[in-house]
């Protein structure tokens, strides 16, 4: 083979990779300029709603859609304005994609009628979006991002370089510091799993959660036998699992999503003779896709979600009934969170319209109102945000897969 | 030591799948000097065809007794035939007219074909991974302290058997001779009365059929598949073909098994995230000292 052909091929392969990573979407924008006394107000919703992420993305999107529909039915802003949800998908080739998310946010920013947005679902997508919403002053509430670096510490500062003093990013779920801590407590104290092997998918969310679990697990007296990172699009985990089996851990911990390997690893544990070893993970493997991909091996897996189990919560009953009536299906683990996020934004927009004398408010007005949210009654409890944009309402749910279905083991309240 | 042997088995099984795919890359490159980037997707199509055939046969789980042989034979042969036909169609539609165009044109076309096949599969079975029935009973055999699964034996055996069958075909039949002649010099072969269009189509048929066989075994081995599988597997298999010496059949086999072994042993002794780094580092090292690959000949003409 001639070297020139090799180098040419390399260039082409790179070009193809770049092309595969890029995808653009565009929507027409009908704008209502600031100051108008009627028109359309939009809430942007950016979630992964196709491919492997769809099983969790679509019920989440439905939550936001329900909130918007209810607001219109109840006479949004005195009936003068019409509220609309602008729905975009950030999955490319079946998987959440930061570039696609950033592109979607640019679409929202370019549309003057969009006053706030719900999303994204995944932490690595949030990393690409926060600098854009921070720059544009567009308020953004995520139903499900749990990575600590999005709101805390130097990582968060780097995301807010355009306006370091203002924060436009909020979330209604508990962050990974709390989730990882809870998972470590579950492993050590509840189940007495003293030896763990940790795997993560090397993404923002997965590695972040695994690192917190790693540190907390050691602190509680557990032994971490190893911590490995898998690579994107990997399908063969037999070598890794053979190695793990030889160490005979009490539990295998996975930090990541079903779509990034969480389901396949669990399935292949049977092939190397680890069918009896428990499997523990965070909210990334709490989607229904996990049971499909892991097959019968899904049984015996445990996972938390950074949300209460809406189906069991008395405060969520009205929401759950309305959701079932509207979408003819069960609520997803993050439906209530997305509903709450949209509700907070709708309330903030309504207040801004009233304060503006019934005229179309600015994004800054809406952002100010969202940041001031406190004691907001929602299906998932009293919501509020601290200075970093984190929720003041810390609830996690621990699930176990049994007979191919997730059952609630416990609801855990954490101190913020 | 036991662990080392156990990882050898894992590596050989993974390598067997790479090797079967690599054979197709190397055959096509050998005969028309085209890197057929759509080949990885033909392999994935192999799992999808197998799945469709199994569904037609009504197989959803493990099959036992004499029916097992029938089911496996029908599925493998069916997948091989359908993939082979796909390869022939791809060649006829996308590559034949560009045979005398500058080398970059068919290469770009191949990447385009890859996207087309991926999107067809995404449309067909959706973008999520699809579970694949287990089909074969999977008891493990204990060999001292290590255990080998039936599935692993199947992958390795099938790869080796098909490689030898191919070798015999290329070196002992008239059609094989025509393939070798076309590879050496298309014009001279044509002057000698060889129909090079048929010969090249045959090459695509066989190479793609092997990918179809790889598709079936990988479906059974991993118990799932998805439309984008061919991208990563195709890249590794192409690397295997280059490592072994592109254009060389035994080289593709050797390269495939070597890459499987490197991945498994790197995972065991260094760490899973380093396996790709290790594979490509070794490829670079080999190419520095042997630019034509491990078994490649340094002559300007390839077999």
Q: What is the pLDDT of residues A113-126, one digit of tens each?
A: 999 999 999 999 99
Q: Are B128 and A16 a contacting pair at CB < 8 A? A: no
As a whole number of angstroms, the distance between CA B93 and CA B102 comes to 17
Token pair for residue A231? 């690579």
Kindly report, as residue ranges, where domains of CATH 3.40.50.2300 are found in chain A: 32-175+313-385, 176-305+397-413
Lowest mean pLDDT across A15-29, A325-339, A352-366: A15-29
Query: ipTM beyond 0.85?
Result: yes
Average pLDDT over residues A313-332: 92
At B110, is the pLDDT very low, low, confident or very high (cuts 50, 70, 90)? very high
pLDDT digits (tens, 9 = 90+) for A137-184: 999 999 999 999 999 989 999 999 999 988 999 999 999 999 999 999
Q: Are A243 and B267 a contacting pair at CB < 8 A? A: yes
Q: Are B129 and A52 a contacting pair at CB < 8 A? A: yes
Q: What is the pLDDT of residue A9?
A: 53
A250: three-class secondary structure by DSSP: coil
At A12, is the pLDDT very low, low, confident or very high (cuts 50, 70, 90)? low
Q: Are B128 and A54 a contacting pair at CB < 8 A? A: yes
Task: Centre a 10 Å sphere on the Cβ of residue B60 and count the other Cβ atoms it contains.
Answer: 12
pLDDT digits (tens, 9 = 90+) for B73-107: 999 999 999 999 999 999 999 999 999 899 899 99
As a whole number of angstroms, the distance between CA B247 and CA B295 comes to 10
Q: What is the pLDDT of residue B1?
A: 77
A-contacting residues of B 222-281, CB under 8 Å?
222-224, 226-229, 231-233, 235, 242, 246-247, 263-265, 267-268, 271-273, 275-276
Chain B's closest residue to A234, CA to CA, is B232
Q: What is the pLDDT of residue B298?
A: 57
CATH class in words for A176-305+397-413: alpha beta
pLDDT over 80 (residue A1): no
Q: What is the pLDDT of residue A33?
A: 57
Q: Are A238 and B292 a contacting pair at CB < 8 A? A: no
Chain B's closest residue to A295, CA to CA, is B131
Q: Spell A209-238 as b/e; 16+ CB within 10 A means b.
A: bbbbbbebbeeeebebbebbbbbeebbbbb
Average pLDDT over residues A251-273: 94
Give me chain A's average pLDDT, please. Answer: 89
Token pair for residue A321? 């009934």
Chain B's closest residue to A93, CA to CA, is B127
Nearest to B242 among A1, A12, A246 (CB): A1
pLDDT over 80 (residue A2): no
Q: Are B222 and A235 a contacting pair at CB < 8 A? A: yes
The strand pair at A251-255 and A195-200 is best described as parallel
Q: Are A239 and B293 a contacting pair at CB < 8 A? A: no
Nearest to B272 among A5, A55, A240 (CB): A240
pLDDT over 60 (residue B293): yes
Give me chain B's average pLDDT, please. Answer: 92
Q: What is the pLDDT of residue A171?
A: 95
Q: Are A264 and B271 a contacting pair at CB < 8 A? A: no
pLDDT digits (tens, 9 = 90+) for B166-188: 999 999 999 999 999 999 999 99
Q: Are A93 and B276 a contacting pair at CB < 8 A? A: no
Average pLDDT over residues B118-126: 90
At A310, is the pLDDT very low, low, confident or very high (cuts 50, 70, 90)? confident
Residue predicted with more confidence, A53 or B47: B47
As a whole number of angstroms, the distance between CA B147 and CA B140 comes to 6
Task: Centre a 10 Å sphere on the Cβ of residue B280 and count the other Cβ atoms it contains.
Answer: 16
**Longest CA pairwise span in chain B (Å):** 60
Chain A's closest residue to B299, CA to CA, is A1
**Residue B186 contacts A where some CB pair is shorter than 8 Å:** no
Which residues make Cβ contacts (< 8 Å) with residue A66, sequence separation at least 6? Answer: A319, A322, A323, A326, A327, A339
Give A225 to chain B, closest Cα distance, Å. 13
A-contacting residues of B 79-98, CB under 8 Å?
none
pLDDT over 70 (residue A29): no
Task: Report the residue of A11, A239, A260, A292 to disrupt the B interface, i.e. the one with the largest count of B CBs within 10 Å.
Answer: A239
Cβ(B208)–Cβ(B20) under 8 Å? Answer: no
pLDDT over 80 (residue A28): no
CATH superfamily, domain A32-175+313-385, is Response regulator (3.40.50.2300)
At A95, is the pLDDT very low, low, confident or very high (cuts 50, 70, 90)? confident
As a whole number of angstroms, the distance between CA A404 and CA A406 comes to 7
As a whole number of angstroms, the distance between CA B246 and CA B255 comes to 10
Q: Are B14 and A239 a contacting pair at CB < 8 A? A: yes
pLDDT over 80 (residue A391): yes
Task: Report the residue of B106, B131, B267 to disrupt the A interface, i.e. the one with the largest count of A CBs within 10 Å.
Answer: B267
Give B249 to chain A, closest Cα distance, Å. 15
Give B85 to chain A, closest Cα distance, Å. 26
At A393, is the pLDDT very low, low, confident or very high (cuts 50, 70, 90)? confident
């Amino acid at each position: 083979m001639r070297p020139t052909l090799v180098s040419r091929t390399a260039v082409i392969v790179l070009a193809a990779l770049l092309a595969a990573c890029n995808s653009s979407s565009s929507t027409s924008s009908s704008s209502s300029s600031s100051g108008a006394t009627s028109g359309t107000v939009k809430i942007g919703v950016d979630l992964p709603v196709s491919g492997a992420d769809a099983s969790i993305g679509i019920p989440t999107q439905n939550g936001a859609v329900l909130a918007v529909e209810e607001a219109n039915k109840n006479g949004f802003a005195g009936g003068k304005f019409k509220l609309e949800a602008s729905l975009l998908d950030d999955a490319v080739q079946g998987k959440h994609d930061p570039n696609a998310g950033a592109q979607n946010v640019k679409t929202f920013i370019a549309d003057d009628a969009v006053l706030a947005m719900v999303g994204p679902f995944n932490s690595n997508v949030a990393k690409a979006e926060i600098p854009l919403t921070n720059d544009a002053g567009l308020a953004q509430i995520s139903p499900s991002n749990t990575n600590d670096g999005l709101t805390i510490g130097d990582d968060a500062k780097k995301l807010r370089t355009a306006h370091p003093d203002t924060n436009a990013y909020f979330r209604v779920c508990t962050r990974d510091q709390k989730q990882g801590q809870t998972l470590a407590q579950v492993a050590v104290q509840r189940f007495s799993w003293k030896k763990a092997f940790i795997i993560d998918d090397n993404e923002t969310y997965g590695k972040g959660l695994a690192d917190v679990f790693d540190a907390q697990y050691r602190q509680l007296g557990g032994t971490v036998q190893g911590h490995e990172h898998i690579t994107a699009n990997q399908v063969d985990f037999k070598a890794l699992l053979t190695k793990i089996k030889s160490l005979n851990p009490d539990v295998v911990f996975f930090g990541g999503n079903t779509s990034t390997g969480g389901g396949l690893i669990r399935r292949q544990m049977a092939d190397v003779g680890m069918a009896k070893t428990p499997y523990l993970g965070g909210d990334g493997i709490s989607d229904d896709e996990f049971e499909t991909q892991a097959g019968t091996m899904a049984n015996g897996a445990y996972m938390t979600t950074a949300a209460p189990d809406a189906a069991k919560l008395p405060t969520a009953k009205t929401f759950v009934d309305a959701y079932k009536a509207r979408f003819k299906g069960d609520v997803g683990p993050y439906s209530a969170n997305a509903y709450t996020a949209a509700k907070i934004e709708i309330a903030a927009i309504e207040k801004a319209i009233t304060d503006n004398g019934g005229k179309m408010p600015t994004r800054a007005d809406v952002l100010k109102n969202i940041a001031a949210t406190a004691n907001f009654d929602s299906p998932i409890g009293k919501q509020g945000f601290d200075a970093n944009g984190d929720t003041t309402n810390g609830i996690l749910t621990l699930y176990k897969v049994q007979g191919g279905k997730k059952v609630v083991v416990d609801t855990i309240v954490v101190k913020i | 030591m036991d662990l080392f042997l156990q990882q050898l088995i894992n590596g050989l099984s993974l390598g067997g799948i790479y090797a079967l795919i690599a054979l197709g890359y190397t055959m096509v490159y050998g005969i028309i000097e085209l890197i057929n980037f759509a080949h990885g997707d033909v392999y994935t199509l192999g799992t999808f065809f197998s799945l469709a055939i199994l569904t037609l046969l009504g197989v959803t789980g493990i099959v036992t007794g004499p029916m097992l042989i029938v089911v496996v034979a029908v599925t493998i042969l069916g997948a091989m035939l359908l993939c082979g036909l796909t390869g022939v169609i791809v060649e006829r539609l996308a590559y034949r007219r560009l045979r005398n165009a500058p080398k970059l044109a068919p290469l770009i076309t191949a990447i385009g074909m890859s996207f087309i096949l991926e999107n067809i599969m995404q449309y067909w079975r959706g973008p999520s991974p699809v579970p694949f029935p287990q089909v074969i009973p999977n008891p493990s055999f204990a060999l001292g302290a290590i255990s080998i699964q039936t599935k692993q034996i199947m992958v390795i055996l099938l790869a080796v058997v098909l490689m030898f069958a191919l070798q015999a075909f290329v070196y002992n039949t008239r059609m094989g001779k025509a393939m070798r002649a076309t590879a050496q010099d298309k014009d001279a072969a044509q002057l000698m009365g060889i129909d090079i269009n048929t010969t090249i189509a045959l090459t695509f048929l066989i190479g793609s059929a092997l990918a179809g066989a790889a598709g079936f075994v990988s479906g059974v081995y991993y118990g799932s598949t998805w439309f984008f599988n061919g991208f990563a597997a195709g890249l590794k298999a192409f690397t295997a073909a280059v490592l072994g010496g592109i254009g060389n059949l035994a080289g593709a086999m050797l390269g495939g098994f070597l890459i499987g072994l490197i991945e498994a042993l790197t995972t065991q002794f260094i760490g899973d995230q380093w396996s790709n780094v290790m594979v490509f580092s070794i490829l670079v090292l080999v190419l520095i000292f042997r630019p034509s690959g491990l078994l490649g000949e340094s002559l300007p003409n390839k077999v």
